[in-house]
Structure formats: C-alpha cells, structure tokens
Amino acid sequence: MDALRPLTPEDVPRMVLINEQGLPGTGKVTEAEMADLLGLSELALGYDDDNVLNGFVLCLLPKTSYGSLNYAWFNQHYDEFLYVDRIAVAESVRSRRIGTHLYNKVIDHAEQLGVPVTAEVSLRPPNPGSMRFHNRHGFEKVGVFEQAKKAVTMLIRRSQ
C-alpha cells in the first residue's frame, strides 16, 4: 500500500540510502547527520510503496542549529519560511509523482503556517531536472549562492 507518513529514527538508514541515489543534488550525509536533521525538522514525511520507504522530504523552520550554508542564506534574507533541506526519491520508483505528492504536503503545511517554501537547486553542477520540478511547483528564483566548488539557485514559493 502506498502512503505518506511521518518519518521516524528507524527510517534513517533507508533515508541515507535513498539520499545517496540522489547525489550530487541531495548532498552527502552520514546516518548521524541524517538523524540530526530529522530531529531538527518541522516537517519530516516519508512515502511508502508496498511498506518500503521510497521517498522522503525534510523541512526546517528558520533559526535552528542546522549548519548548512544554504539554510543560513535563507535565514539572512527571510524571517519566516519552511526550508526544504532535501527531497529524495529512490531511483527504482522515479517518475511516479512521489516527489509531487511530498511537495504537495510541504506546500499545504507552509500555507497552514502562513509562510513561503524555500529551497535551492544545484547550479554548478547543474540539476536541470530539479529546476523543472521546482518551476512546475511555482517556485521563483530569488538569488544565486556561490561557494568555492559549487553554486546553487535560491528559490522561493510564496503562498498562493
């Protein structure tokens, strides 16, 4: 049975495996880092397919202790937001709209909170599939954040 559900600490090993399948776009993390992210998350949803976790999304509110430079950029530019730190879908089930199901819940949650959704997409190296996905979901570019070896496009989806 397919279902959206809250993530639990028991999901962390599978989350790391799915995250690895999304590299470099998802950003490499250890199990300990993923567990910390899960603990910091305002919204942590998984998508089960036949009782197997095959997709997830982790979102944070502003001003947590999360050390991501991309997250810090949004904290410097916005007072309120729901930050999508990562969304990942297992390679074996991509193109089945799992990411869309997860993002619809993210957007609903942000609208209940009355805040925009923020995210970034890798510019260097480029991730055109993710950019198309975010454009389809109503995100607009609000900046570019350059770092030594990579750059990301900063995106926001304002409440409709």
pLDDT digits (tens, 9 = 90+) for 100-148: 999 999 999 999 999 999 999 988 888 888 899 899 999 999 999 998 8
DSSP designation for 136: H
Going by C-beta distance under 8 Å and a sequence separation of 6 or more, which residues neighbour residue 137? 100, 103, 107, 157
* Per-residue pLDDT tens over the stretch 11-21: 999 999 998 88
Read off the tokens for 10: 């028991």
Q: How many other C-beta atoms are found inside a 10 Å radius of the C-beta of residue 74?
A: 23
DSSP designation for 148: S
User: How many residues would you count in the chain?
Assistant: 160
Over range 59-64, report the average pLDDT: 96
Report the DSSP pairing between strands 117-124 and 140-146. Answer: unpaired
**Which of the following CATH numbers is that of domain 3-157: 1.20.210.10, 3.40.1410.10, 3.40.190.10, 3.40.630.30?**
3.40.630.30
Q: Domain spans of the chain? A: 3-157
Q: How many other C-beta atoms are found inside a 10 Å radius of the C-beta of residue 10?
A: 8
- By the 8 A CB rule, do 60 and 72 touch? no
Instruction: Calculate helix-pair angle for 31-40, 12-21, nearest 10 degrees.
Output: 110
